[in-house]
Amino acid sequence: MTKIVNSKITAMLIGAWIAYCASLGDYDGAVFLLFFYSLLLWNLHTKKATGSDTADGKSKSY
């Protein structure tokens, strides 16, 4: 999930779709995508700040 959220291609595609929605005047779609992507980024940033990628605090063994 981290690679998808941090991907430049994903950000470009979302930006292009937002621009397309805005050009059509469909601001609901553009605002929803901005909100959804910002939640993904915020969730990713929160996990990095706490140093844990699990909800229960247990470490994963790879």
| Residue pair 21/27 in contact by the 8 Å Cβ criterion | yes
Over the chain (62 residues), the average pLDDT of each successive run of 10 is 72 86 86 84 71 57 55
Domain ranges of the chain: 2-49
Contact 54, 60 (CB under 8 A): yes
pLDDT at 54: 56
pTM above 0.75, yes or no: no
